[in-house]
Structure 1
Amino acid sequence: MKTLPILLLLACGLIQCKEKTITCAIETEMGMITIELYPEAAPKTVANFLQYVDKGLYEQSSFFRACTPENEADREVRIEVIQGGDMAEEKELAPIEIETTAITGLLHKNGTVSMARSEPNTATCSFFICVGDQPALDFEGSRNPDGYGFAAFGQVIEGMDVVLRIQQVKEIDQYFIDPVQIIDIKRIDD
């Protein structure tokens, strides 16, 4: 009987410890993708993404690139992702410091949302969604020679079927012939 109060306390503690999340809807011409963001694990990356969302800067942007088994066949380290969030350079906000997977603990699993970048600390607006687990994109992963990996900050919670359809859009050298329009990205709760 003494264990019941302890179990109740533990259960209450676990419920309170659940990380706060923010949910956003990515409306595309091919359907809706719902994502959950993790501001406690990746505060700078989530804040950056939400600046673009809240200012409406993703309106009329697109998913413009996909990495597939076919177009990655000649690469030593192959990945599968769709990339979106392109916009005119004058709309881009300042680059952010990279929050690596070693810092956040958020790994590149199926449906992970992460910031695209060239060099460390250069991510601005472009993001990608993983198709399947992509450990090569984590800290010390082999995809990027600098070893920093990419900054994961969210997860698809609905709409992976849409992600998979986008990944199959006709492309040349990974870039879609007809990019898939992102109509808008909006917060759907706080």
Structure 2
Amino acid sequence: MKKRLLCSLLASLSFASHATIVEMQTSQGTIEINLFDQQTPKTVENFLSYVQDDSYNETVIHRSIDNFVIQGGGFTFSDTLDPITTKPAVINEPVFSNVKGTIAMAKLGGNPNSATSQWFFNMANNSGGSAALDTQNGGFTVFGQITAESQETLDKIVALVHCSEVPLVGITQAQCSDENVVISNENLVSIQSVVVLSDDPNSAQNLTPKENTLIDNVEVTPPQSSDSSGSMAWLLGALLLVVPRLKRAK
């Protein structure tokens, strides 16, 4: 099996070189994220391109699984979940491990280089075991780390009532199976804004990313072309079971 020489080279760089800090304001609280600019440059550039053109504003958290992930960055809500406009897919950069407190890119199954706009927060150590996110599909690119204080916001989202995998506010578990239930944007966990707080090079000094060592013996997959279908990213099937039951309030 080929070694992932690029990943080893990137991981060997001085980590205290640079880290952009972004602030994600959600309807459940604030999430502050330190981005790994130098170690995952293409992924950070891609993420920031969506931040800079306000693509993430007014999107919703469409997937939440306790002790696994919280996923967003792909949809707004009108009468149903509407995919946002995506940009060309970004090359995979599986340098760091999918441990709790990190943010990584979602992508299409069977295509390591298909990530576009969607991301997920790791709510547990998902590097190996049954999740195997450090090796599955070429490894999922971790491109940032949240602050300790931000974990509280993620925990609040997980604690909400979930209809299938969608976290909802003001909805009971019994209403999830009610075909007549009516929701509005206020029932969904929204991302109100994502802004850059700082690009100070010293902001990376106290971060403690864990290197992805499991990927070393995984076959390298050459970059592939990908179209806008990347907006329907990784493991969305369960979501489709609940979306038809959600109706916008008139």
What is the TM-score normalised by the length of structure 2? 0.58
Structure 1 residues 71-102: Cα deviation after superposition (integer angstroms, max 9, x where no partner): xxxxxxxxx110011235462111111112xx
CA separation in 2, counterparts of 1:170 and 1:163? 14
Aligned to 2:174: none
Select the residue among 105, 110, 123 that pairs with 2:115: 123
For structure 1, which segment, 160-169 or 22-31, has the greater mean C-alpha deviation from structure 2 after superposition? 160-169
CA separation in 1, counterparts of 2:197 and 2:105? 21
Aligned to 1:186: 195
Map 1:108-119; keep pairs closer than 5 Å.
Answer: 108-118=98-108, 119=111
CA separation in 1, counterparts of 2:20 and 2:118? 19
| Corresponding residue pairs, total | 156
Structure 1 residues 141-160: Cα deviation after superposition (integer angstroms, max 9, x where no partner): xxx3x4x1211000001310
Give the aligned CA root-mean-square deviation in angstroms. 1.8
Q: CA deviation at 1:35?
A: 0.4
> SS at 1:166's partner residue?
helix
Matched, 1:150 2:140: yes
Aligned to 2:154: 163
Q: Structure 2 unaligned runs (5+)?
A: 1-13, 76-81, 169-186, 200-250
Aligned to 2:72: 84
Q: CA deviation at 1:133?
A: 1.6
Q: CA deviation at 1:167?
A: 1.6
CA separation in 2, counterparts of 1:40 and 1:117? 21
Q: CA deviation at 1:108?
A: 1.1
Q: Structure 1 unaligned runs (5+)?
A: 1-15, 70-79
Percentage of identical aligned residues: 26
What is the TM-score normalised by the length of structure 1? 0.76
Q: 1:17 to 1:122 in 2, by over 3 A?
A: closer
Checking the alignment, whether the CA contact within 8 Å between 1:115 and 1:151 is kept in structure 2 is yes
